[in-house]
């Protein structure tokens, strides 16, 4: 009997052009949805100074990735179990240092994270909003950048700016869109089509549609209270939409063969060619 070879970890950045679009809520609930489907998920909280994935799961990290770099802890000592099949690499407020590492620190980090590559099916990176350098590094190192947009005109303008910079400066072509805070699925699809038309008109790249998340009262309250709707209200409409999006994520990533693995991701982030 042939041995089953595990696929390397697939890396996805969940990002946005502006804050307040519900990015961390989506990341946390998508991780939970994937875990319910038997997938092993690692979350990296890359939202500098505003790291709050741990709050969504009701845990308190005892360290972060910089402790590994400084030789104070091993990688498995900073990993935080969040739920069955889900773990977190806390980024803390000093992730910006990742772009300023010396050769020894870079190699130490790569050696540490390389041991995790076959332990997880997906790495979900929760970035800060906008086009700061650390956001661009994380997105360009991932297999796919999934941009969350809302009907707010500033969300659309800023998301377009993010995609434009990543495409023109980093030669990125793989983007997916999640439409959040819409009235219903129809509005979500209309929002995507409108945004896709603008992007195609000026950038000549296509976008994948991963789905919409209508903002009903239950989802709104869950978001405001920083509770996982996938965990506490799994039969809700929002939970069903999140499951659909997680399936779309799986389907899309199956087609992505380039930029594979945690090692490659971190090599790009810390600048090791």
pLDDT tens for each residue of 3-40: 344 567 898 999 999 998 999 999 999 999 999 999 99
- What's residue 195's pLDDT? 97
Beta bridge pairs of residue 44: 89, 125
Number of H helices, E strands in the chain: 12, 8
The answer to whether residues 162 and 81 touch, using CB atoms and an 8 Å cutoff, is no
Determine the angle formed by the axes of helices 133-141 and 153-170, rounding to 10 degrees. Answer: 70
Mean per-residue pLDDT for 50-64?
84
- What's residue 210's pLDDT? 97
SS3 content of the chain, % helix, strand, coil (to 5): 50, 15, 35
- What's residue 63's pLDDT? 86
Tell me the pLDDT band of 137, cut-offs 50, 70 and 90: confident
Beta bridge pairs of residue 127: 46
pLDDT at 99 over 60: no
Q: The whole model's pTM is what?
A: 0.89
Domains of the chain: residue spans and CATH:
10-270 (3.40.50.300)
pLDDT at 110 over 70: no
Mean per-residue pLDDT for 225-240?
93
Burial class (CB in 10 A: 0-12, 13-18, 19+), 159: buried
- Residue count of the chain: 273
**Percentage, residues of the chain above pLDDT 90:** 51
- What's residue 5's pLDDT? 41
d(CA 145, CA 251): 15
**Residue 126, CA atoms < 13 Å, CB-side half-sphere:** 31
Q: Provide the pairing of β-strand 144-149 with 10-15.
A: parallel
Q: Which two tokens stand for residue 107?
A: 């190699």
100: left (phi over 0), alpha (psi -120 to 50) or beta: alpha
Instruction: Report the mean per-residue pLDDT for the chain.
Output: 85
3-state secondary structure of 190: helix
Mean per-residue pLDDT for 62-75?
81
- What's residue 116's pLDDT? 78
């Amino acid at each position: 009997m042939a041995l089953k070879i595990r696929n390397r970890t697939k890396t996805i950045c969940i990002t946005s052009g502006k804050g307040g679009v519900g990015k961390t809520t989506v990341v946390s609930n998508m991780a939970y949805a994937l875990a319910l489907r038997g997938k092993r998920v690692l979350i990296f909280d890359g939202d500098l100074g505003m790291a709050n994935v741990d709050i969504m799961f009701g845990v308190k990290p005892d360290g972060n990735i910089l402790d590994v770099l400084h030789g104070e802890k091993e990688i498995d000592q900073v990993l935080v179990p969040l739920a069955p099949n889900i773990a977190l690499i806390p980024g803390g407020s000093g992730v910006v240092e990742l772009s300023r590492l010396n050769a020894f620190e870079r190699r130490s980090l790569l050696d540490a994270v390389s041991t995790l590559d076959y332990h997880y099916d997906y790495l979900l990176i929760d970035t800060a909003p906008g086009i700061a350098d650390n956001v661009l590094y994380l997105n360009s190192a991932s297999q796919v950048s999934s941009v969350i947009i809302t009907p707010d005109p500033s969300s659309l303008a800023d998301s377009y700016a993010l995609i434009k910079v990543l495409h023109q400066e980093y030669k990125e072509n793989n983007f997916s869109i999640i439409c959040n805070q819409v009235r219903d699925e129809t509005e979500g699809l209309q929002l995507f089509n409108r945004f896709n038309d603008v992007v195609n008109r000026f950038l000549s790249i296509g976008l994948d549609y991963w789905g919409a998340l209508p903002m009903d009262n239950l989802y709104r309250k869950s978001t405001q209270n920083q509770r996982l709707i996938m965990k506490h209200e799994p039969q809700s409409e929002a939970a069903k939409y999140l499951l659909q999006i997680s399936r779309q994520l799986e389907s899309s990533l199956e087609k992505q063969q380039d930029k594979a693995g945690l090692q490659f991701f971190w090599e790009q982030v810390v600048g090791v060619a």
